[in-house]
Amino acid sequence: MSKRYDLIVFDWDGTVMDSTAVIAGSIQAACRDLGLPVPDDETARHVIGLGLDQALRHAVPDMPEAMRPDLVARYRHHFLAHDLAIPLFAGARETVVELHGAGYRLGVATGKSRAGLDRALESTGLKQYFHATRTADQTFSKPHPAMLFELMDELSVSAERTLMVGDTTHDVLLAQNAKVDAVAMTHGAHPPEQLQELAPLALVADFAELRGWLKANA
């Protein structure tokens, strides 16, 4: 059966890597360090997927602008203390390797920094499987469609032949803004009911379910 897609783009945090709790906890710890209002779990999780500066502005809206560099520094301090120990989701590696072997072009569109994604790709050994990647400090943050536009342009793939896989409403909106199909994973930062409101092509619980969906539909 002919393939429906040529390019599959993954979000990273909360989709490929099980980092939601570490990111949310690092935002909260950074706020405590500086005596700022500490966002609750739902708020801290909701901003995952945005670029760091945008995420912190949303999570701590009353933050004085003069404190922003300090909050960024404290967040990075806490996150980097756990960074290399954060695991991939079960089945993530096998899915990426299988898709690469099947001839799909693979990309990453993430709210991470370039340095952060490069570190994650190296530490997990997945760098060789991705053909192109975009980070929030290289271009516009989600849900602006620039990341997908740039990936599709670099790899010469049309929107109709591209699929976005992510765990947040930011990912689904990114795809919709780029006129790209989206599948949402429910094991990450945003609850299933929020994802379902945006009507992605499918909601899948884990990589086993994603692989089944891809085999049947991609």
Torsion angle (degrees, nearest 10) of CA 106, 214, 201, 156:
30
Beta strands in the chain (DSSP E): 7-10, 105-110, 132-135, 162-166, 181-185, 202-204
Of 73, 63, 69, residue with least CA distance to 30: 73
C-alpha distances (whole Å) from 190 to each of 6, 20, 21, 48, 138 are 27, 10, 12, 9, 24
Hey, is 110 helix, strand or coil? strand
Of 153, 157, 107, 161, residue with least CA distance to 129: 107
Spatial CB neighbours of 5, under 8 Å, sequence gap ≥ 6: 104, 161, 162, 163, 181, 218
Instruction: Provide the token pair at 183.
Output: 């599948």
Spatial CB neighbours of 211, under 8 Å, sequence gap ≥ 6: 91, 94, 95, 98
List residues with catalytic annotation: 11, 13
